[in-house]
Structure 1
């Protein structure tokens, strides 16, 4: 196998940092990570807190409310850790409650608090952050529940478990469902269980039985995938984009594929906005797939040079195209996708034939071998594994004859 093929096959996301190290630098040292979402946040949904806002509140707590608690000399290692925050949590909550009350007393108090936090949105989400901190143990249990649902297929059992949620307290329920959905691999199962409890497959019915936070959590998590859809450059993490696109599709289809929404529903309006943003981010890359493929396969007449970056980009584009095909029911890309899909198939057939002929003529040409490896990998994704296997056998036959 060529150096390029090895490079392509091993191109995977770097291993994430250990959880403890990653959490230590986050707001409140990771104690409310389960309800945090990343920018861009197009719509603030119940139970979800922007990580930027959480960081602003965390800075306010450490700098203005608790400088004595978080002074370097008061901490074991000079910087706050989750254990330090947990130990001081009763006092932190008391000071946050007092600071929030003072900031809500009058217009001047609101202005001052917004200035301390750096933005009005942080002041508005301060009650949600305070509630999340008070219920941090419940968030951990909700995450465990979310993981457990992945092995439960019985709708009645799922419905019984969901009824044990704090449905009578909507703000807490919103936090709990958001934390749980982050661990759910098959969101459609919870939707079907909710429909069974509601007795009808409509958004109104599901919200009427107190399960509206489930719908909001799906939308919030779908929106949270937006940050991953930046597909620029040869070293863009296409694998991450494809996984996020699959997750986005599962969440959206768990709603639109099972529930009937009323005309003018706020949920459908938000979903429409998120879908448009996802599609707008992917569309330019889809339009470049065929161009990237042709440039990657281009040979220089006098001094041929292998453009490995272009080859990686071309392979990534085909993988992305296949992911969009599987998720297009949740996207607004039908016209662009159809054009890219058809043209990429035609271009790939031409390049397969051309590179196979060149390989037969000169099996020792490493550039031709690298391009042939790449088009076979793309053929496996664009056409089928069986077709790719046929091409591999043809290549091996040429190698044996040489």
Structure 2
């Protein structure tokens, strides 16, 4: 942008110039922008749209247009500030007012220039992205409010009294529907007790029915919970095959369950309502993603505790880790089964895993008793005991440890 030239003048000067293909923005400034509105961003795949959520890729595409065609000078200063050592979000806050002013000027100019609107729409990624522009602008404009929403969510999560939670919710006096949806999206991302918050909201509404809650001022709360539940599925979908990051997968399943339980157990959801069909769809998606990892638990346990058919006897630490991870996931899925559609598969895997462990651990213990000085046999038994503790209980594992210690003591005593 030439110095002294307004954004709309620059756009008008382009005239009938060929529309340039949308390209990625500068990674430094883009990262700062995304970090500034992180609390309302969601990652794909996106199965259902929610009013307070902005898909990360859509936001990035809109930013590339803003950076290139709306606020080039502000973006340049943003990059320079970051290069000089400024914290990215703090640097973004210093230019956000200028960016918003330029956006307003561009949108005002579009009112009298259909061709300008068409070109801008193409440059930001098309009609679907254009539909999210108002949400992105509001997220930038209300960034301090979204920071408050995140802090509010953290604080409300510490409250144990439902009546106090209800009073806190009544203090959310935002009436603008876009801002309220963004607030709820940011808040829900930080609440640790979604069921208590939902119960308090339902009391304020005066009823549990789907239609009553969906027409109330707390409908955005349900939508935000559904959005965050969907985000947990996206975290699982981002890991191909069996989960590479098991801790992340287990946390995602648990978080998904707590959000869905908050809705299903408190709001009387109609199966054929919009929320009912969305919930059914999300349950189907996450269950589909969990099927393969569940199926592979029992074979993984068996493989890790068996003696190799060829070569010297050894315990493969990678196979043991995979088996332990699978068992951890299986226990989490079992705890969250009410929010999933994997009952038959889960019961089968749970039974098969239990039977396999009983046989293999008993065999490992008998083999170890016959030769307690063999380090490989001890390692295999120890792995089996850890798996038994996860699948059964600590008491059963303690019995196995005492049996192991007894065998070692007999050898020590000669």
Q: 1:114 to 1:337 in 2, by over 3 A?
A: same
- Please give the residue correspondences for 1:384-399 in structure 2 after superposition, counting only pairs within 5 Å: 384-399=393-408
User: Is 2:200 the partner of 1:190?
Assistant: no
SS across alignment from 2:74: coil
* Contact 1:38/1:224 (<8 A) preserved: yes
Q: 1:342 aligns with which of 343, 351, 354?
A: 351
User: Is 2:259 the partner of 1:251?
Assistant: yes
Q: 1:108 to 1:375 in 2, by over 3 A?
A: farther
Q: 1:24 to 1:356 in 2, by over 3 A?
A: farther
Corresponding residue number in structure 2 for 1:39: 44
How far the C-alpha of 1:108 sits from its partner, in A, is 4.4
Tell me, in whole angstroms, the C-alpha distance in 1 between the residues paired with 2:252 and 2:29.
25
User: Is 2:371 the partner of 1:366?
Assistant: no
Corresponding residue number in structure 2 for 1:381: 390
Tell me, in whole angstroms, the C-alpha distance in 1 between the residues paired with 2:218 and 2:241.
42
* Contact 2:30/2:63 (<8 A) preserved: no
Tell me, in whole angstroms, the C-alpha distance in 2 between the residues paired with 1:220 and 1:150.
19
Q: 1:188 to 1:234 in 2, by over 3 A?
A: closer
- Please give the residue correspondences for 1:1-400 in structure 2 after superposition, counting only pairs within 5 Å: 26=31, 28=33, 30-71=35-76, 75-78=80-83, 81-101=88-108, 108-230=115-237, 236-301=244-309, 302-400=311-409
How far the C-alpha of 1:64 sits from its partner, in A, is 2.0
Tell me, in whole angstroms, the C-alpha distance in 2 between the residues paired with 1:46 and 1:73.
29
Deviates more, 1:73-82 or 1:26-35: 73-82
* Contact 1:166/1:172 (<8 A) preserved: no
Tell me, in whole angstroms, the C-alpha distance in 1 between the residues paired with 2:292 and 2:277.
24
| TM-score where L is the length of structure 2 | 0.86
* Contact 1:75/1:84 (<8 A) preserved: no
| TM-score where L is the length of structure 1 | 0.88
Q: 1:179 to 1:322 in 2, by over 3 A?
A: same
How far the C-alpha of 1:340 sits from its partner, in A, is 0.4
Tell me, in whole angstroms, the C-alpha distance in 2 between the residues paired with 1:29 and 1:40.
18
For the pair shown, the structure with the greater C-alpha radius of gyration is: 2
Q: 1:64 to 1:251 in 2, by over 3 A?
A: same
Aligned residues: 381
How far the C-alpha of 1:208 sits from its partner, in A, is 3.5
How far the C-alpha of 1:105 sits from its partner, in A, is 6.4
* Contact 1:318/1:378 (<8 A) preserved: yes
Tell me, in whole angstroms, the C-alpha distance in 1 between the residues paired with 2:221 and 2:28.
26
Alignment RMSD: 2.4
Tell me, in whole angstroms, the C-alpha distance in 2 between the residues paired with 1:101 and 1:270.
37
SS across alignment from 1:213: helix
- In structure 2, runs of 5+ residues without a counterpart are 1-26
How far the C-alpha of 1:216 sits from its partner, in A, is 0.3
* Contact 2:314/2:376 (<8 A) preserved: yes
Tell me, in whole angstroms, the C-alpha distance in 2 between the residues paired with 1:23 and 1:400.
63
Q: 1:378 to 1:74 in 2, by over 3 A?
A: closer
Tell me, in whole angstroms, the C-alpha distance in 1 between the residues paired with 2:30 and 2:409.
56
Tell me, in whole angstroms, the C-alpha distance in 2 between the residues paired with 1:334 and 1:308.
31
Tell me, in whole angstroms, the C-alpha distance in 1 between the residues paired with 2:30 and 2:70.
19
How far the C-alpha of 1:23 sits from its partner, in A, is 10
SS across alignment from 1:96: helix
Tell me, in whole angstroms, the C-alpha distance in 2 between the residues paired with 1:213 and 1:239.
30
- In structure 1, runs of 5+ residues without a counterpart are 1-21
Q: 1:87 to 1:167 in 2, by over 3 A?
A: closer
SS across alignment from 2:91: helix
SS across alignment from 1:168: coil
SS across alignment from 2:372: coil
